Amino acid sequence: MKRAIPVLALSVAGLVPVWLYSPGAAHEGELTEVAAPETPQQTQAAPKTTGSAPKTTGSAPKATGSAPATQPQQQQQVQARTVSGPAVNTSEGTVQVQVTFQGTKITDVKALRAPNSNPTRMALPLLRQSALKAQSADIDTVSGATATSEGYKQSLQAAIDGAQ
């Protein structure tokens, strides 16, 4: 019994630094989502392959009728644009987002850079969903990923401002 108290005290003393450990910036990796941006050729390829011209050669009025239908789609595709926000340094790491706009509507938000931690990996989908729903950077902070959330919102707001 005399040895149990010192063993218990030393065990707790040894575990406290492990519980409080947080990797510094030198040990921290960053998540990088690199998605190839859609090119106009990729998005226009689908309407061209769905046309009925190869199946029926005698339907010239249908072929001319389908041309105006693709022109508004092409005009909408021209309006689609992506804007990257600045890289925001937080206490947890660097956060940077890229926003895709269709006209003035936010259609996608991607994290280009984010801290490589479990709270951040869990927070990014929630932040994206909130931004798409709110159509602005006025979104709630994700509990447990406060620094990442604040950096995300700052980069998102800067990207929105840059698109206007």
pLDDT in tens, the chain (164 residues): 778 888 778 887 887 777 676 655 444 455 554 444 443 433 343 333 334 444 444 444 444 444 455 555 555 455 788 999 999 999 999 999 999 998 889 999 999 999 999 999 999 999 999 999 999 999 999 999 999 999 999 999 999 998 87
CA separation for the pair 104, 100 (Å, rounded):
10
Output the pLDDT for position 59: 42
Q: Is 145 helix (H, G, I), strand (E, B) or coil?
A: coil
Q: In whole angstroms, how far apart are CA 20 and each of 14, 32, 68, 93?
A: 11, 26, 64, 18
CA separation for the pair 133, 152 (Å, rounded):
15
* Token pair belonging to 27: 């040990």
Output the pLDDT for position 10: 81
Domain 80-162 has CATH 3.90.1010.20: yes
Decide if 110 contacts 136 (C-beta within 8 A): no
Cβ–Cβ contacts within 10 Å for residue 117, how many?
21
Q: Is the pTM of this model over 0.75?
A: no
Q: Is 159 helix (H, G, I), strand (E, B) or coil?
A: helix
Output the pLDDT for position 73: 54
Output the pLDDT for position 16: 73
Alpha helices in 2-145 (DSSP H): 4-20, 40-49, 60-79, 118-134
108 forms beta bridges with 100
Output the pLDDT for position 2: 76
